[in-house]
Every structure is written in structure tokens, then in C-alpha cells.
Amino acid sequence: MASAGAALKKAFFAAFVTFGLAFPIVALRTDANLSNQLVLTERWPLAFGLAGIALFGTLLLEMLGPAIRARTASKTAPSTAPPHPFLAYLPRLGLLLLLAFPFIATGIAAAGGPGVLKVMDNYGIQILIYVLLGWGLNIAVGLAGLLDLGYVAFYAVGAYSSALLAKTFGLSFWITLPLAGILAAFWGLLVGLPVLRLRGDYLAIVTLAFAEIVRLVLINWVPVTGGYAGISSIPKPSVLGYSLGSEPTGLAATLGLPRITFMYYLLLALALFTYWVTTRLRTLPVGRAWEAMREDEIACRSLGINTFKTKLSALAAGAFFGGLAGAFFATHQGFISPKSFEFMESAIIVAIVVLGGLGSMLGVAIAATVMIGGTELLRELDVLKAVFGGDFDPAQYRMLLFGLAMVMLMVWRPKGLIATREPTVRLTPEPRRGAPAAVAAE
Amino acid sequence: MDYFVQQLINGLTLGSIYGLIAIGYTMVYGIIGMVNFAHGDVFMLAAFIALILFLLLTQLLGIGSLGLALLIVLVLGMALTSLWGWVIERLAYRPLRGSFRLAPMISAIGMSIFLSNFVQVVQGPNNKTLEPILSNVINLPIGNGSATLAEKQLLIMVVTAVLLGVLWYVVRHTPLGRAQRACEQDRKMASLLGVDVDRTISITFIMGAALASVAGLLWMTYYGVVSFSDGFVPGVKAFTAAVLGGIGSLPGAVLGGLLIGLIETFWSAYFTIDYKDVAAFSILAIVLIFLPSGLLGRPDVEKV
Amino acid sequence: MRWLSEPLLAVDHLSMRFGGLVAVNDLSFTVGRGDITALIGPNGAGKTTVFNCITGFYKPTSGRLALAHGGTPDESAVALLTRSDKRRTHGASPELFLLERMADHAIAAEARVARTFQNIRLFPGMTVLENLIVAQHKTLMAASDFSLGGLLGLAKHRAAERKALELAKAWLEVVGLIDRADDPAGDLPYGAQRRLEIARAMCTNPVLLCLDEPAAGLNNRESAELTRLLRGIRQQTGVSILLIEHDMSVVMDISDHVIVIEYGVKIADGTANDVKCDPKVIAAYLGVDDEDVARATAGRAGP
């Protein structure tokens, strides 16, 4: 069979290439010996193993290839059909889940899972922060099409300014929170002013450079920022004298709830506020102008839209929510340092926005849950230890798999998980597939 | 004066390395308009490959001659890094060609995260420190004092200059270079005229990776330390250099690289080392505001 | 002859150079209020460059582009504004605008010059209706109190939004796309996209509508429909239309005034009939030798 021969040839080629890739970097490991000299450890079986995986993997793909191709081909037609009915209910379902999460976490803990605090912190709060950041950045990247690679800078500005305001002036969280947002938005304007007149691609590099500058200043301006040591014992928000924090004297603990509950609901409220503002802005002229600008900037200008101001507003609005997220992060952790504001964070947030589907709020939430929750979950999987041996540390592979997942998801769905766009205004009511109307007609 | 000359030498050495990396960015941007975010990590990977090959040759195979060992590392390292460049393009970028603008960039960011973590996993998180090589210095008398030029600095500048000469010849005077320039101008038209666009793009990635491999070897020789996280900062600086010189322009990338190297070195020498990167990035922003198309880039007329 | 008696836009000594290339060279013409004016010429004559100068996408190398709202200005008023460093008058009647000093979006928003593009530029991912709502950005933005009022859902903004929707609907009826209002604009067939682009430009409420090859890529039936559409638009709104077109049947059919340029220089200017018989125009289009043109012109100008 000719195709089998070709598949075999392809598989051997893949194996050969894999071996070439693995040859020095995997097969030979460098380690310092006792006298601090580098020596090589040979690990040939590992390199051959990888090549073997490539061989059989390619063979398998070649055999299943036609089936996969047939399936993807039918998907390429542009979808104007209404989204799957499940998607319409997903936001409500998600909201319900989010509201009930502290109780679910208690359940998980009671069922013998990790502790409530851990579940709430690692999953609930961790994911929600990224959802919030993703929704904020979504304004700039998803709606306005401005690639901001330095979003973490606004997050940092929010965190540091709220922490410093709280610690030096003793301001309450309820005042530092909006101030953090406003200051971040102000920095958004400041960065945008010089670069938004330039070609689009430059925005990416200048925002990236800006974020690096912010991080370096945070590291080096020790008298104010504390340098690498950062700022600690940032006060928790309080209501009527009761702290919302997770200390034993906090409100939640007093009420007998999981101690982190109120921080979680505070974050949820912030996220819902962001959701509300963003969906609202989308239907306003400024939001429509953002989307129009993403589609065709020149056409926008021909319709009298000042694209410079419109871009500035998108950057500043996105930065505002980054600032809010930063303020929450600071008060929740009680400690901040430059370590939390590295480029990797920006990359993760951009990835969440793009993987979710540009402009889709729901997509961003799903992407954040999958990417952040998934990598958090990896930490837990002790099962893998049993498979790969005792010294296998799944956490080590967390970011490796994160990067790989980014590439694969992008190749699989270049337009993101949710590629359908909901119009901001309709002339006729939305057609629903399998919606109640159709049921009633029967 | 001698101090100044010394800093000039140091700056040019560092700048040469940045320039070599910057070429990879600028060539890929020129041909497919994409910021290849993973390029910095390809450079880091190349430094590791160079380190391992060097150890393999000197320790396991017992090659005594340093020059011979470095030459083999150079050639073999270029081949192996090129293979990585080719595979990355083939798997992570080619399927996204013609897709919307941000898709390949996100894929590249993912690839960058993957590469640095991959190296961390297979080689361990520690810094890899090599005993210094080629550290003999040549004394250059200047006025009352003197400046020193280490052998490795000389090596870096010479290798960079030779490679740039070769590259310039390839791009200007060979059918391959012509195909590359054609693809830069109009990919569709080039393909209609019989240029194999996919192949040309692949070769561009391979060339970028090969140059990054040389940069990696030189970096390893110069500093004697590599770590899995070394891709990001030099990568960003090299990209800054490419933009500074005018993205898409080969001489621009080299000029930008040298300038960034010099700015960084002089800033550390005369002001404070803490803010050297801030200086480099700030200058990028300032140049972009006053010279939007970089130092040697072509101004682009907006097509309406 | 409204372009002489009642000019809306006066182009004076317009030149545009790109490096060494002179795309438009010392070009002067006027566009009459309420006229349909056609700018024609062989490929590469500089027609689109003239459009880009009028709509602010290019800054002309030299020359003046004076536009007046609501009446014909005195020579002296234009001269006065030209000498000042201002872009426009405020509250004068007629209101004067010097387009060469204005940014592209300001030309669309303040001077009310709308345009379409040779390669259609819709917002393909947005719906047909949204395309028309975006075009009313300026009015809606003001009504939303720069988003703050809109965010709170104030009545003023909701009323403005309803009005914008009505206007969009009206234009969708005119161009016959009301049934496709909720479809992505990119999904429309080519001819419909052209009509949508015209409707979108009209939603900005322009005094001058500039159409860059509106009939390009249309078949005969569609071209005829386009002619009807443009006539209808002019009749309903009184908008002046300036168009670039290669389809001579369209040009000769609807134009009150035709300007012919070649190599960036005006070679003829007059009614469709005048231009049709002009030997220089014929030569430009058919590629006759220069001597023939000289002889023909001499013959006509002779006794």
C-alpha cells in the first residue's frame, strides 16, 4: 500500500527530526559537580524514547488523519448560525456556579479534598483574578484590537498605589480601590499618548517596554517600593469595623463561614462590575467605535471617528480594570513584590483573551478557567507521580504544558474558543435554535 | 579617555550579540509581518546547545584544541538550532498563516513559554557556569592609560562582521535573497511568479535561528553563564534593537543592536547599573515618537 | 453650470508629491452644490490621490481646498481664512472650511465630507445595521455624554439611540438591505457591500459624498441600479456627489459635470457632452499621438 509506505516514511522522518531536536539538549544534561565544574550526564534512552514517541505518534496521526481532516473540513464554513443553545445558558450557569462556589469548596474539603482555604484561594480567587484581568484587557485587545503586551504594568500600578496609599495615608480600601483604578487609567493615557499615533505593531513593543520599566523601577526604587522585598502587611478591607479578610477575627470567621468567603465575594463583585460595565460600553457609541476600529481603522476615520482618542479611551478603560484587580490582589495577599508583575503575567492574560475569542466575555472566562484552573489542577495530580516515579514533580511541567496548550489551542482554533460575535443591536429578535419558541410551536 | 574606549569595546561586543539576534526578528517581521516572540528563547536554547556541545567535545571526546572545538560547536550548533527554528515554524506558525493578525503572535508567546520551561525541565533550573575561556587580553595603549580587548571580544566582533557580510551577500545577490525580498514586497504575487513562498519563509526562520545560534555561542563564550530564563531580556532588547534600527531592515537591526549595546554599557559605566534597561527602553520610546519608522526603516505610506 | 455659479468645494492649485513622483500637479476645479460631479481619467491619473487629499487621508504638498456650508462665500472671506492660521470659521454664514488643514476624521465630522473606498472598507464582522450606527458616532457620542450618561442609561441617550436606529432603517430601505440588517456585513454579496458602504457614508449626514469607483465590479444591471440609487439620494437629500468612475456609461448617464485628469493635470472640464467630444480626452483614453491631438485642437480652435 503506497499510503502506508508514505506514512512510514513520514513517521521515520518525524522520529529523526525529534532525535535531532533532542540530541544535545535532552540527551546530555549539564550539572555542576562538587567542585562546581559542569559535567555531562548522558541520557540517551530519554532522547530515543522521545524519537520513538514521535515515530508512533506520527504513524497514528497518519492513520487517523483522513478522519480528522474530514471533520475539520466541515467546520471551516463561516458560521452565521446562532450559537449553540447551551452557550446561551452558560453565562447564567456560570454565575450560579460562581455564587455557590464557597459552598462547593466546603463540600470538596468535606469530601476529603484539599482544605477549603486552598480550594478557594487556588481555584476560586486565582481564576477569578485572571477572569477580571482578562475582561479588562479584553477591552483593549479584544474590542479595540490594540495589542497591549504590558497589561501587567497597570495591575502593578493598581497594586502598589493602593498598598502605598493604604499604608502611608491610612486610607481605607474602599477609597484606595477606585483611586488605584483611576491611577492605572491615568498611566494608560500616559503610555498611549506618545505611541497610539504610531503603527499598530509598535504599541505591542512599547507597552512591553513600559511594563519592564515599571517592574525595574519597582525593583530599584527601594525607599518607596521596598525593592525585591516588596510591601507587606497591607491592611484588609473592612465593613462596619469588621475585617473581610481571612484572619480568625475576620467577619467570615466570626460568622462561621470559610474565612476567605468575603474576599471571594468582593472579587466576584468586582468581576461582575467589570462585566456589567464592559457589556454596557459595548452597546454605547464608544464601544461600537472600538469594535469598528478593530475591523477597519481607516473606515472609522472616514466616518468622523477620532481614532486616536478612541484608542486612548480603550487603553485607559482596560487599564482601569487592571488597576482594580491590582488593588484587590494587594489587599488579598497582604504582600506584594515585583515578582508578581513579570512579563509572564502579561503573556498569560493576553493568551486568555485571545484563546477565549477576541471580544467574547464568556470566552475569556472559559479560557481563564481552563488555562489557570488546568495548570493549578496539575499541581494536585499525585497520580502522575505513580506513573512517572517518585521524583516527578508535576508543578514543574505546569508552565511547559501551559505554553504547549497555548500553541495547540491557537493552531486548533485561531479565532479562539468562542468565535461568534453577539451584535450590539438587532432589528429582528434573535433567532434561537431549539429555543422555547420552537417548542411552543409544536 | 581610556575608560571611554574600554566601554566602547564592551558596548560593541554586547551590541554585536544583540545585532545577531535582532536580525532574526527583523527578517521574520519583514517577510511575514510577525513578531516572533519565541526568538529570544531560541537564542537561549542555542546557548545551551553550544554549552553542551562544547562540554561534549572537550570532556567526553577529549578534543584538546580550543579553536577546533569552538569551530565544531559553531557549525553543529547552527545546524541543530536551525532544526529547531524549522520545526517551530512548521508546527506553530505555518498552520496560522493567513489567519488573523494576533494568532501567530499568541502562538509565538506560547512557544516562548514552552521553550524556556522545556529547557528548565530538561536541564534544571540552576545557572550553568563554564570556566572562562579565551580570556587573554590585548592591551591597547590610549593616552596615559590603556584599554583591554579580550580575545573573546575580538572573536565576537570578527564573527559578527563576517556573518553579516555573508548574510548581506545572500540577501542581495542570490536567488534565495531575491525570493525573500519578493515575498516581503508581495507574497501573493511572488507565489504567482513561481517563488515557493512556504520554503522561502522556512529558510528565513532557519537563517534567523542560525544567527541566534551564533549569538548563543558567543554569549556563552563571553559571559560563561547561561540559564533557562536568559531568553527573555536579551530577546526583548534585540527586538527593541530591530525596531530602533527600523524593523525589516538588516543594516538597521545591526545598527540598532550596536546602539542598544552601547547605551546599556555607557549608562552602566557613567550612571547607574540599576537603570540600564530602563535607559534602553526609554530610548526606544523616544526614537519611535520622533522617528516612527526607526533609524533606517522605510517610512510607510498608508494605503487608503 | 452650478460649479461656476454655486460652488460647494473649490480646489485651488492642488499638488501632491510622493518623493520624486508628482501624482497631482497644480490641479484646480470646483464642485457645484447639488451636482453630481465625476472625476475621470486613465489609470494612474491621480484621481484617488485627489480624493485622499479632499478627505484628509493625505496632506497635500500645496494648494487649497475650500468648502462652504450653506451658501456661496465671498472671495474675500475665503482669502481672510486662508491668511489666518485657522482651519474653519465658527458661526459665519456661509461656514467655511479649509480641508487641507483638517485631519481626516474632522473633515468627516465637521466639514461633513463622507467617502467610500475603491476596495470596499466595511466593518465586516459587525452587522449591516451596526455599520450604519457606527457612522452616526458623532451624534450618539454627544448624546451619551461621552459614555457617562449612556452607561447610566439616561433617557437622552436612549432617545438618540432610537433616532439613530430609525435613520439606519430608513437607509437600509433605500439601498434594499433591510432584510439583511442583522447579518455580518462581510457576508453580503459584493454589490450589496457597495450599496451598504454608500448608505453608511450617507448616515454621517454629509454635504459632499465622495465615491471612489462605486460601479467597479458591478454588472450592467447593478450599474443601472446604482445610477438610480445615486439620483434618488441626490433628489432626497440634496447632497452633492463627487465620484471617480471608469464605467463611462454611468459617468455620462448621471454626471452634471465631468472633470478629466491625466498624469495629475486637468485636461478637460465641462458637461458630460462637452467632455465626450474633447479630442484631448479621446486621446487620453484611446492613446492617440500627441501630434494628432495638436492638429485636432488646432483645427477646432481655428477659423
B145 vs A: CB within 8 A: no
Touching chains, C (3+ CB pairs < 8 A): A, B
Dump strand ranges (E) for A232-299: 238-239, 242-243
Distances (CA, A) of C9 to A198, A288, C25, C82, C271: 31, 32, 18, 14, 17
Q: Given this model, what pLDDT does residue A434 score?
A: 43
**CB-defined contacts B:C, below 8 A:** 7
Distance from CA of C150 to the nearest CA of A (A): 6
Q: Given this model, what pLDDT does residue C302 score?
A: 41
C68 in the same domain as C200: no
Interface probe, candidates B122, B127, B225, B263, chain A, greatest A C-beta count within 10 A: B122
How far apart (Å, rounded) are the C-alpha atoms in residues A85 and A64? Answer: 30
Per-residue pLDDT, averaged over B119-138, amounts to 83
Quick check: B135 pLDDT over 90?
no
Nearest 5°: the CA angle A329, A332, A337 is: 55
Q: Given this model, what pLDDT does residue A438 score?
A: 37
| H-type alpha helices, B89-196 | 102-123, 151-173, 175-185, 187-192
Distance from CA of C81 to the nearest CA of A (A): 23
Residue B112: list chain A partners with CB under 8 A: 347, 403
Taking every pair of Cα atoms in chain B, the longest distance, rounded to a whole number of angstroms, is 65
Q: Given this model, what pLDDT does residue A316 score?
A: 94
Distance from CA of A302 to the nearest CA of C (A): 6
Dump strand ranges (E) for A121-244: 238-239, 242-243
- Reduce the DSSP state of residue A196 to 3 states and report it: coil
What would the grid cell of residue C299 be? 483645427
Pick the CATH number of A93-412 from 1.10.3470, 3.40.50, 1.10.8, 1.10.10: 1.10.3470
Domains of chain C: total: 2
Q: Given this model, what pLDDT does residue A269 score?
A: 92
C78 in the same domain as C216: yes
Per-residue pLDDT, averaged over B24-39, amounts to 88
Give the residue, C146 or B130, on which the prediction is more confident. Answer: B130
Q: Given this model, what pLDDT does residue A202 score?
A: 75
Q: Given this model, what pLDDT does residue B302 score?
A: 63
Q: With CA atoms as reference, report the closest residue to A132 among A320, A311, A375.
A: A320
H or E stretch covering C244: strand C240-244
What would the grid cell of residue C169 be? 432603517
| Residue contact A423–C114, C-beta within 8 A | no
B239 vs A: CB within 8 A: yes
Q: Given this model, what pLDDT does residue A385 score?
A: 61
What would the grid cell of residue A414 be? 485561531
Produce one character per residue of B239-248: b if its CB has 16 or more CB atoms within 10 Å, e if not: bbbbbbbbbb
How far apart (Å, rounded) are the C-alpha atoms in residues C257 and A199? Answer: 39
The neighbouring-strand residues paired with C9 are C31, C67
Domain spans in chain A, listed from the N-terminal domain onward: 2-67, 93-412
Q: With CA atoms as reference, report the closest residue to B234 among B139, B226, A294.
A: B226
B301 vs C: CB within 8 A: yes
**CB-defined contacts A:B, below 8 A:** 185
B135 vs A: CB within 8 A: no
How many CA atoms are closer than 13 Å to the CA of B26, on its beta-carbon side?
32
What are the tens digits of pLDDT across the range B224-277?
888 888 888 899 889 889 988 888 888 899 999 999 999 989 988 888 777 888
C18 in the same domain as C93: yes
Per-residue pLDDT, averaged over C215-243, amounts to 91
CA dihedral (C133, C136, C137, C140) positive or negative: negative
Which of residues C205, C235, C261 is at a domain's end? C205
Give Cβ neighbours of residue A280 (< 8 Å, ≥ 6 apart).
A287, C150, C151
How many CA atoms are closer than 13 Å to the CA of C75, on its beta-carbon side?
2
When CB atoms are compared, the residue of B301, B302, B304 closest to C117 is B304
Residues in chain C, total? 303
Q: Given this model, what pLDDT does residue A215 score?
A: 92
The values of phi and psi at residue B112, to 5°, are -65, -45
Residue C136: list chain A partners with CB under 8 A: 285
Q: How much is the pTM?
A: 0.86
- Closest residue in B to A196 (Cα–Cα): B289
CATH number at residue C154: 3.40.50.300
Q: How many CB atoms lie within 10 A of CB B196?
A: 13
C154 in the same domain as C62: no
Quick check: C14 pLDDT over 60?
yes
Residue C200: list chain A partners with CB under 8 A: 303
Produce one character per residue of C218-240: b if its CB has 16 or more CB atoms within 10 Å, e if not: beeebbebbbebbeebbeeeebb
Distance from CA of C184 to the nearest CA of A (A): 8
When CB atoms are compared, the residue of B80, B128, B304 closest to A298 is B304
Angle of helix A151-169 relative to helix A343-356, nearest 10 degrees, comes to 120
Residue A183 DSSP label: H
Q: Given this model, what pLDDT does residue B192 score?
A: 87
Residue A210: list chain B partners with CB under 8 A: 281, 285
The neighbouring-strand residues paired with B150 are B137
Touching chains, A (3+ CB pairs < 8 A): B, C
| Residue contact B302–C57, C-beta within 8 A | yes
How far apart (Å, rounded) are the C-alpha atoms in residues C34 and C36? Answer: 7
C147 in the same domain as C96: no
What are the tens digits of pLDDT across the range C141-196?
888 777 777 777 778 888 888 999 999 999 999 999 999 999 999 999 999 999 99
What are the tens digits of pLDDT across the range C78-130?
888 888 888 998 887 888 999 999 999 999 999 999 999 999 999 998 999 99
What would the grid cell of residue A160 be? 502598589
How far apart (Å, rounded) are the C-alpha atoms in residues B32 and C278? Answer: 48
User: Across chain B, what does the average pLDDT equal?
Assistant: 87
| B42 contacts B84 by C-beta, under 8 angstroms | yes
Domain spans in chain B, listed from the N-terminal domain onward: 13-229
B302 vs C: CB within 8 A: yes
Residue B90 DSSP label: I
Distances (CA, A) of C26 to A155, B14, C59, C80: 54, 53, 15, 22
Per-residue pLDDT, averaged over B157-161, amounts to 90
Q: How many CB atoms lie within 10 A of CB B273?
A: 11
Touching chains, B (3+ CB pairs < 8 A): A, C
Distance from CA of B298 to the nearest CA of C (A): 12
Mean pLDDT by 10-residue block, N- to C-terminus, for chain A (442 residues)?
75 88 86 80 85 87 71 48 66 80 75 71 86 94 89 95 92 92 94 78 82 91 88 83 71 70 87 92 92 92 92 94 95 90 90 86 90 79 60 72 87 83 81 43 36
Domain limits at C285? 1-112+207-303
Residue B131: list chain A partners with CB under 8 A: 37
How far apart (Å, rounded) are the C-alpha atoms in residues B106 and B97? Answer: 13
Residue B247: list chain A partners with CB under 8 A: 201
Residues in chain B, total? 304
Distances (CA, A) of B54 to A21, A257, B40, C186: 17, 60, 21, 57
Helices (H) and strands (E) in chain B, counts: 11, 4
Give Cβ neighbours of residue A30 (< 8 Å, ≥ 6 apart).
A38, A39, A40, A41, B48, B51, B52, B55, B123, B124, B128
C220 in the same domain as C88: yes
Region class of A84: left (phi > 0), else alpha (psi between -120 and 50), else beta: beta
